[in-house]
Structure 1
């Protein structure tokens, strides 16, 4: 299971609750628990198994709150679809 500090290669999509994609078909190497990730993403990664898939929703207080970013409206609920591909050692 993934825990804080693990480096993992992920494939993921992030959507707004209404279905619009914020990120699609991303493939990245990330560190679980890294402070630069939004809280909803950090919490959703912990406990995943390598090779596992997870879908979860993160409320605005775990994402960007009332901040508006390019493609993400204020107080947006984000939907994450994540596949943990491999542990990077």
Structure 2
């Protein structure tokens, strides 16, 4: 699972511990902004998101942005319009030219949700 070249990822702080890899459940806080600065959505302070990295059940920009992060890390992810297809389905008011900016803070990496996920992802991307 490699991030597309058009996705821009900026580490604001690195964090510590192990890296987030496909198959992890990532517990994170997330804010999604339109490029102009208007907030599209955000996790609540008391309710962080739990995302199964690699399961494709979250927006692509968030999943790719979580890869390689460490607990306590903070990233800014700039998602080009061609990767914002999931967001456009969830938020029909977004234009096809919308550039999105995510701010993600990884708060925890509990045990892997599925130890076989690495193998299945590898088979999916390398037939």
| TM-score bracket for this pair, using the shorter chain length | 0.7 to 0.9
TM-aligned CA deviation for residue 63 of structure 1? 1.0
TM-aligned CA deviation for residue 62 of structure 1? 1.0
Root mean square deviation of aligned Cα: 1.9
**SS at 2:71 equivalent:** coil
* Structure 2 residues not aligned, in runs of 5+: 1-18, 112-127
Out of 48, 61, 73, the position equivalent to 1:40 is: 61
TM-aligned CA deviation for residue 21 of structure 1? 0.5
4+ long deviations beyond 4 Å: none
Larger CA Rg, structure 1 vs 2: 2
List per-residue Cα deviations over 1:4-25 (Å, max 9, x = no partner): 1100210110000011111124
List per-residue Cα deviations over 1:61-88 (Å, max 9, x = no partner): 11128x4624533321110000000112
State whether residues 51 and 57 of structure 2, in contact with CA within 8 Å, keep that contact through their aligned partners in structure 1: no
Out of 84, 97, 102, the position equivalent to 1:80 is: 102
TM-aligned CA deviation for residue 36 of structure 1? 2.2
| Aligned residue pair count | 88
Query: How many Å separate the matches in 2 of 1:71 and 1:52?
Result: 31
* Structure 1 residues not aligned, in runs of 5+: none
**How does the TM-score come out when normalised to structure 2?**
0.62
Structure richer in strand, relative to its length: 1
Structure 2 counterpart of 1:3: 21
